[in-house]
């Protein structure tokens, strides 16, 4: 399975959260959903971190160029 896009991962994470909050997930599913949610969170957070770092790097480089 290829890694989902940021938007895809974020959507799936939110769908999982909504499902959990609706309360119709089976007890056996709870840990699986939790684990999948955490995995999606890590994917999103890593992507955000990478983008944020790149923006800061660009800003520093452009400021340095002035």
Residues that bind another protein (CB under 8 A): 6, 10, 13-14, 16-17, 20-21, 23, 25, 27, 30-31, 33-34, 37-38, 41, 44-45, 48, 51-52, 55, 59, 62
Q: How far is the CB of 14 from another protein (least distance, A)?
A: 5
Q: What is the 3-state secondary structure (H, E, C) of 2-66?
A: CCCCHHHHHHHHHHHHHHHHHCCCCHHHHHHHHHHHHHHHHHHHHHHHHHHHHHHHHHHHHHHHC
Q: How far is the CB of 2 from another protein (least distance, A)?
A: 20
Q: How far is the CB of 4 from another protein (least distance, A)?
A: 14
């Amino acid at each position: 399975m290829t890694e989902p896009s940021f938007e895809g991962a974020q959507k799936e994470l939110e769908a999982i959260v909504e499902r959990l909050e609706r309360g119709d997930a089976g007890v056996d599913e709870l840990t699986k959903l939790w684990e999948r949610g955490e995995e999606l969170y890590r994917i999103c957070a890593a992507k955000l971190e990478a983008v944020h770092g790149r923006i800061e790097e660009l800003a520093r480089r452009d400021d340095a160029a002035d």
